[in-house]
Amino acid sequence: MSAVDDEIPSPDTSLSHKLTSKTELLNLKLYVVIAILLAAILAAFLLVFLCLRARRLSRRMRVKHSSGSIPLVSKEIAEIKEPQPRPDPPPPSAAAEGKTGNEKSKGADVLPSLDVEKGKERSREGDVFGWGRWYSLKELEDATRGFSAENVIGEGGYGVVYRGALQDGSVVAVKNLHNNKGQAQTEFKVEVEAIGKVKHKNLVGLIGYCAEGAQRMLVYEYIDNGNLEQWLHGDVGPVSPLTWDIRMKIAIGTAKGLAYLHEGLEPKVVHRDIKSSNILLDRKWNPRVSDFGLAKLLGPEKSYVTTRVMGTFGYVSPEYASTGMLNEGSDVYSFGVLLMEIITGRSPIDYSRPAGEMNLVDWFKGMISSRRGEDILDPLIEVQPPPRALKRAMLVCLRCIDLDVHKRPKMGQIVHMLEAEDFPYRSDTRSAR
């Protein structure tokens, strides 16, 4: 019995033999392979745990960010960093101590980040934003020689325009907005939003702006040949330098600029104050539509009801004046009046003329209905236009001032009408029949 027991190995001896025996995996012993597997499983569990923890942390950060704890900074607005504290700040002056809280907060009503102190720091660096530059009040005062009367080049109900020369030698037009009943702040917001990024060869570009305290100013590119009103109604002599071809060039360029505002932007921009004094001219008689202070941004809706009619008497469409209903058709009507002014050389409202000729639109339609269209041409035009070209321009005027706003053409269509040689179109003749 004892001999048999000696031949049969014990369980402990058999297990030890198996653990120490070599395997086919890289000729490693069995206990080494088991240790490697256990280490791999442990590492996998640790990796999964770390991934779950990182995901929970990321969710917490996103919730904190969206809840408003971390402010969002627009990509279009440069982040303004607080200036580093100086070791020995100078004592405040008596003038600075005398400022009230209301005076310090005036500049923050429109753009809180553009107060006086931050503006001074930024003006030293010459900050340039995506569409323009911020100017300090001191820079513009120096450019316009203290806003002297000699540098005034235009004045309207919403501000005075000065000619200015910056330190780099460039000439600009500085529009100092009136601060009456908050209109300066409102116009400042509208103009900055409407034309800050608008770039078109027939629109005056905005270079920059200034907002310090109650001051609101806009800096435009300078157009050096006056405006259309000066050339149409000023003392230009017995013969106007605005030939028929130049007048049509001005009309077509203005129409292209307005077509871009109506059809090339989203949201669209309705100018609301189209008139000859807002059409600037360069030395080559290229028109540039200016003064977007009355611009109204429109969304996808076709019209917008406003409680306050804004515009210039004689140019405002009847439906806008009576109901306050505003859309791009209002600009089309104003352009029609402007085109009549270009053709006839007459002002929209002229109280110095006889009773039947004071209102340009009524006189114009009366002349057309009595078949005296050739008599409406500005007598200062030396070379008469071809009869077909004059007729084409007159028909465009009549279509623009149609009392039914839905029958008025779009500005893009007006461009084609003025440029087309075969207008009136045959399709219009067929529809009339």
The sign of the CA dihedral 111, 117, 122, 126 is positive
> How large a percentage of the chain has pLDDT more than 90?
41
Q: Could you say which DSSP state residue 382 is in?
A: S
Instruction: Please tell me whether the peptide bond between 85 and the residue prior to it is cis, using omega within 30 degrees of 0.
Output: no
- β-pairing, 133-134 vs 206-212, is parallel
- CB-based burial label for 218 (10 Å; 0-12, 13-18, 19+): buried
For 63, the enclosing helix (H) or strand (E) is helix 30-66
Pairwise CA distance, residues 105 & 112, whole Å? 8
Residue pLDDT, tens place only, 383-425: 999 999 999 999 999 999 999 999 999 999 999 999 987 655 4
Q: What would you measure as the largest C-alpha separation in the chain, in angstroms? A: 149
Pairwise CA distance, residues 348 & 336, whole Å? 11
Contact in structure between 29 and 23 (CB atoms under 8 Å): yes
Contact in structure between 189 and 177 (CB atoms under 8 Å): no
Instruction: Decide which of 169 and 95 is more confident.
Output: 169
CA separation (Å) from 120 to 76, 127, 137, 210, 219? 21, 11, 9, 11, 18
Pairwise CA distance, residues 395 & 112, whole Å? 51
The pLDDT-based confidence of 196 (bands split at 50, 70, 90) is confident
- β-pairing, 325-326 vs 206-212, is unpaired
Residue pLDDT, tens place only, 207-228: 888 878 778 888 899 998 999 9
Pairwise CA distance, residues 363 & 358, whole Å? 8
Q: Would you say the pTM of this structure is higher than 0.85?
A: no
Pairwise CA distance, residues 62 & 58, whole Å? 6
Beta-bridged to residue 128, according to DSSP, are 133
DSSP result, 211-251: EETTEEEEEEE--TT-BHHHHHHS---SS-S--HHHHHHHH
Which residues have a catalytic role annotated?
273
Residue pLDDT, tens place only, 45-88: 888 888 887 777 666 555 444 333 333 333 333 333 334 444 44
* pLDDT (mean) for 8-18: 60
Residue 314: per-residue pLDDT? 86
Residue pLDDT, tens place only, 98-108: 443 343 333 33
Q: Provide the 10 A C-beta neighbour count for residue 283.
A: 8
Q: Which domains does the chain have, with CATH numbers?
A: 105-221 (3.30.200.20), 228-427 (1.10.510.10)
DSSP result, 279-330: EEE-TT--EEE---TT-EEE-SSS-EE-SS--S-TTTS-HHHHHH-EESHHH
Pairwise CA distance, residues 246 & 408, whole Å? 25
